[in-house]
Structure 1
């Protein structure tokens, strides 16, 4: 009996080590105050969105990963498969929102500077090449984002294979790169919790307002990193 127990402990030791050493995901701090994006996004929305909704994705992702590690250690393939949806939803929610917060800035808006300061210059050149103009990018991305059925995200992404910018929409919390292969540069959250308290059911007004606070410096840095 003692031998059996010792064998079990020996078998579990690697798994216990994984759980002990695995660093849990944490809710990132915002790079600005909750009220900093007003009047475009209210402080109430930002506080609820960040401290409640994003926090829930982080918490549920940690719980799901622990369950997945347990299923993995047991060789429980059925359990691993059953957890995929929760990993995708909560993992995607964490990834998407972490990008979203940095895509916004109280000093944002306007458009990428045209050939005055790299990598802004590079991004503006790519926008003109792939969409014709900055205004056409805004129009196409806004239309695709507003048209998302139910909840989801509108994205500007980078296609590594052909070196082009592309617009895409993802349902629910599906992460852009894991779903389409595109590297995310700029995301617009169109879950109702992102805008309903302020814009009610008028999603187009919310999407229009977002352009006033886009952090083009952040988007440009993401483009520079993706282009390497």
Structure 2
């Protein structure tokens, strides 16, 4: 499983921190504005991280890896742990200068399981556009490397089904409403221009 967050400060309880992005907040413009990043990353994502730290303090979860918290919790703890992980997966897959298409083993797996890279994107787009309410569209791999697309509501994550999450499209309204208002399809179309397939390739090879 790809480790997205580092556990810091081992003297006291583990503290999860907002991950440092490999790009500036305005680097994804015009597809994603600096204002959206200020709210989505600095406020929404930070709130999940803060809530997670508060919820694990003094519990059996405080020294548990984040992935294990997600697999072994429910209610508010699950929601904040999963949303911390999901947002990190989402933001770290974006780039100002992304690799536009995968190659290597991931490209072969996409060809095998979807027929083509374009068909994979179509399935992801359909899942993201069609998800009712808030949630995520995921590209995930099983233990043998077989790929599937999964629309999941709220904070759900493929790892609860023993799959490796590779790529997600965030379709909570706070991800796009500043820039696109209620035009979710326009947001999803624009987002493909900032997804870095070099990151997704590494996640696939590291699974």
TM-score of the aligned structures, taking structure 2 as reference length: 0.86
* Aligned partners of 1:109 and 1:211 also within 8 Å: no
Match of 1:123 in 2: 106
Larger Rg: 1
Q: Is 1:219 paired with 2:200? A: yes
Q: Which has the higher contact order (CA 8 A, sep 6+)?
A: 2
The count of residues paired between Structure 1 and Structure 2 equals: 187
Specify which of 90, 96, 111 is matched with residue 100 of structure 1.
90
Do the aligned partners of 1:156 and 1:185 also contact (CA within 8 Å) in 2? yes
How far apart in 2 are the matches of 1:156 and 1:60? 27
Q: If each structure's helix is expressed as a fraction of its own residues, which one has the higher value?
A: 1
- Secondary structure at 2:151 match in 1: strand
Is 1:139 paired with 2:130?
no
Match for residue 198 of structure 1?
179
Report if the CA contact (8 A) 2:99-2:198 is conserved: no
Q: Which residue of 1 is the match for residue 137 of structure 2?
A: 154
Structure 2 partner of 1:167 = 149
Structure 1 regions of 5+ residues with no counterpart? 1-18, 71-82, 113-119
Q: Which runs of 5+ in 2 are unaligned?
A: 1-9, 62-72
Q: State the secondary structure of the residue aligned to 2:57.
A: helix
Deviation of the 1:176 alpha carbon: 2.2
Matched residues in 2 for 1:47 and 1:153: separation? 20
2:33–2:179 Cα contact (<8 Å) kept: yes
**Contact (CA 8 Å) 1:154, 1:167: kept in 2 or not?**
yes
Partner deviation per Cα, 1:25-69 (whole Å, 9 max, x = no partner)? 111111100100001111100111111000000000111112644
Displacement of 1:109 after TM fit? Answer: 5.4
Separation in 2, partners of 1:101, 1:46: 10
Partner in structure 1 of residue 51 of structure 2:
60
